[in-house]
A and B are shown apart, each in its own frame.
Chain A
């Protein structure tokens, strides 16, 4: 396992961005609970099953999934609109498995052979939709049967695999038709105004070189049918507001702060005053960061805020609990043989529960009713009192875990794997949050260290990957303070990189706070980008190792920004609209 675990060691990056938009319009959430799309899918699936069933090899499982989506995006920068998109799409996945559940075309490196996808008509035109599905299906069948031949040959030639689990788990069929309407998409102008207004607030600060505000409103309905009889229709709606600001220190280090909100309706977004306060905090942090001293190599007590701890656990533990990682020959399988063993201090438990929509009034972004294989979401105890119990399972079995627990997720077009939904860390050894800082100081004193570190924010792999905005650099937004035991004020440091073995670090957790904090984001991995939530209280480590992060040596801009040619006082008139 790589030691730079905050980078994308597991190929994960939780991104505050829009899922690739294969998306849709008119009929997404059309007014009537119309099941004609579902019945077209059902009929065409049955026909395909009948026809392809006559062939050798015959499919033993097929499914059709359609994401019918309406998406509105507005992006602002420096008080102006940079992008505004409103569109609809229907994206279909066709899955064909040939062979048998014990060994099929998805075996080992061949998972992608089971899926073909494409855009299908926006309107419920049964002729056109069934044509599109037919094309996808016979093409997919060819891919699947070819892969199956390869799989059969390979398994005969190669030595027996360590994990001899079947390739597909048996599941009960489910029928669930939820045609309820998500909240209406607000007028595009409302979104445009919002991003103009918020991004404009940054333009009075000459040292904020770049700012981007993006709002994404996604309303979708997901349809799923399979040859086992499952038929699922569920709504899917999210609104995300993301605010990003960047600057550079004189030595060239690029610095970034990001804030994000995830809600279900626009009126749940914070009001202007709250956002203005956030913006001011981002600006103030960046201003301090620019002149903050560089981190020095350090090994000692560290306190993570709930938000930072949530991200830390998502990256370090959450991804290692994904079922498929215990099986792949290319995977490190860090936790594969550790079921029943202690992996965390005994006062800590970790669960993943996509069935919860909110926690203490906060929205949980990883919420869903059915996963992308039509299996109902369920609460899974992953680590109980420090002991590893379970994994995040899709329908791909692993040794000792033969069934899905409703965590098979993917973005449209990609094959499902076990993924996180709402990962929640619970502690039975807590102190009042107000006392956490003192506990850190006590530990610093006990170890005789000059200072401790307080991680206010980590965004690890959580980073920005907007597809339509050229991304000039990648930074890990992180906010770390030195906390001195002698009463000196806390000091912000920059360029902190966490090193060492993450799982070992988790064994050095002393205690936690009480109040859980939520981080909502988009997590990217092999099966694409899916919305997730990570929840944790503040955490005190007896020992965390950090080093200086290497950084680019580009100088900050040579000329002052436009509007500030005469120095900082010449703030442009425009920014007077600040409230």
Chain B
């Protein structure tokens, strides 16, 4: 009871009007708007009915049920070579029903017991919504019963020394936020996409170019048998372009840019977008003429904050998720940090926090912001790595060894996947920030100490191990020289722990929309030693014949 009050108090303090326990005055409003919402009404009605009556004779009744509905309104368009190829508005509603039998300690969440996904009526028609939920619940319950038996049979094959609960308990939460609407016009952007992709005319050797937009409005509804009711809306806007060319030796060269924001007002202007495209095409041209990297290099490498964010996403972001390994496996999690709890995973001067409660940083919206996660647990700021040491994992309601409760990071991919631990806003910070310029000086200095003629500066990454814009920083004259065809040999968690020697005082916000919207915030970083090799992929042939001549439209 006391803990409940404390929770309530902190809740009231931490959150604004949006986060309202049902007993407060505003809670009544929240209750009222929940009652006015046909989707929530339908969910509650079927939940109540299933909770009290859904049972097969001679079989266990459900101990937990949840409903999740994703409502997506999407405007997507793509232009190539100056003309639109697609322009589509889509509205979808998906429902996912999970029924669990057994108990929190051991339940049916396994194989076909992991829920049922179905499309839901788009109309706010309570009875039609209930009808679809009714069928999905029935199927989910029957699946759960079978899965429970199958799971117990499989568990009998293993010796489990330390039983971990299947499902974490969580306090009920009521949060009915405003619905988001796709109430802005994408039409002016269609023009910008055509103009941007039309810039291929400035360089006859551009082989492909696409500019695209995807404006999504996602409204999420969640209710469970524990009394949690959540509704929240989010806007996700992405505008981007991608182009490719080939060097004379056939090497494929790609560049892309994306603006991903949660408020369409934060999108660049059409002029800025065009300017960015122009800049990007220019780098492609430069890349074509750039020399290929030497066969092997071992030495200091400086990553811009942009490039560093990709490194952290891959080497830290993936490994701090508290994902439970398969049945009977003794490891704590599935990631590379499975056995690193309380051990050093980064240099002492770096700390990592994941904070979904943060809506804005530097006046920019963060994509990983949410109030309540997709399992109905309130978002929490989690210190994951403190002064280089791993002290926590990001958790949903599936416990892992030593971490019995959720810390509000259970999130689901749109539309149908089950929720699992995911990043929100992952912030990497340094206790000893170094001015950016000094980092460059240190790179050159390190090279000089080791008699290296140059060091590498990585401006952007194309993938976890593949840098896209790479420069040689020459010791003798400070010249920056663009090179191509590089790949990292040993950029891994070990080098992150042992070779990362400094971090900048700058910051880059990388917003990612893929799968689950999240943001990664990181400073630039310097490694004292990394291996940079020449990529050994085969170079493609150049096109057999030249592109058509522009008629000039």
Contact = CB atoms under 8 A, between A and B. Distances in A.
B545 A78 contact: no
B544 A141 contact: yes
A127 B194 CA distance: 12
Contacts of A269: none
Interface string A6-26: 000000000000000000010
Contact of A55 (B87, B132, B544): B544
A472 B550 contact: no
A80 B125 contact: yes
A576 to B, nearest CB: 13
Contacts of A128: 80-83
Contacts of B497: none
Contact of B81 (A121, A141, A563): A121
A559 B138 contact: yes
Contact of A562 (B45, B83, B121, B545): B45
A526 B553 CA distance: 41
B127 A574 contact: yes
A536 B76 CA distance: 46
Given A123-B83, A127-B550, A209-B135, A80 B53 contact: no
A106 B207 CA distance: 28
Interface stretch (A45-53, A284-292, A361-369): A45-53
B88 interface: yes
A126 B92 contact: no
B119 interface: yes
Given A135-B208, A138-B544, A470 B127 contact: no
A141 B132 CA distance: 49
B152 interface: no
Contact of A561 (B79, B129, B134, B544): B134
Given A127-B81, A127-B548, A131-B81, A79 B128 contact: yes
A102 interface: no
B134 A562 contact: yes
Given A83-B92, A132-B81, A559 B548 contact: no
Interface in A517-569: 554-555, 557-559, 561-563, 565
Interface residues of B, number: 56
A294 interface: no
Most buried by A among B83, B200, B550: B83
A125 B543 contact: no
Contacts of A572: 127
| Residue in A122, A123, A561, A562 with the greatest tally of chain B CB atoms within 10 Å | A562
Residue among B88, B117, B207, B546 with the highest chain A CB neighbour number at 10 A: B88
B244 to A, nearest CB: 11
A12 to B, nearest CB: 27
A25 B84 CA distance: 11
Contacts of A55: 544
A559 B53 contact: yes
A554 B142 contact: yes
Given A81-B121, A470-B119, A210 B85 contact: no
Mostly, the A contact residues are mixed
B135 A210 contact: yes
A185 interface: no
Contacts of A210: 135
Interface string B120-143: 111101011111101100110110
B85 A121 contact: yes
A203 B553 contact: no
Contacts of B120: 82
Nearest to A565: B49
Contact of B118 (A44, A119, A470): A470
B245 interface: no
Contacts of B179: none
A559 B208 contact: no
Contacts of A131: 80-81, 200, 547-548
A352 B142 CA distance: 48
Given A52-B544, A55-B544, A126 B553 contact: yes
A468 B119 contact: yes
Interface in A342-398: none
A44 to B, nearest CB: 6
Interface in B532-553: 541, 543-548, 550-553
Interface in A301-351: none
A123 B295 CA distance: 47
Contacts of A125: 81-83, 553
B548 A562 contact: no
A444 interface: no
Contacts of B49: 559, 562, 565
Interface string A132-158: 101100100110000000000000000
A90 B122 CA distance: 28
B498 interface: no
A121 B552 CA distance: 16
A135 B200 CA distance: 14
Contacts of B84: 121-123
B175 to A, nearest CB: 25
A469 B135 CA distance: 14
A210 B142 CA distance: 18
B540 to A, nearest CB: 9
Contact of A127 (B87, B121, B553): B553
B28 interface: no
Contacts of B208: 135
B105 interface: no
Nearest to B49: A559
Contact of A559 (B134, B543, B551): B134
A48 B548 CA distance: 9
Contacts of B139: 472
A476 interface: no
19 contacts: A52-B544, A78-B121, A78-B125, A78-B131, A79-B125, A81-B122, A83-B92, A85-B88, A121-B84, A129-B83, A130-B548, A131-B200, A134-B548, A142-B544, A203-B127, A209-B135, A472-B139, A558-B55, A563-B130
Given A78-B132, A142-B541, 15 more contacts: A48-B545, A77-B128, A80-B121, A80-B122, A81-B123, A85-B90, A87-B88, A90-B85, A125-B82, A125-B553, A127-B550, A132-B80, A559-B54, A565-B49, A574-B127
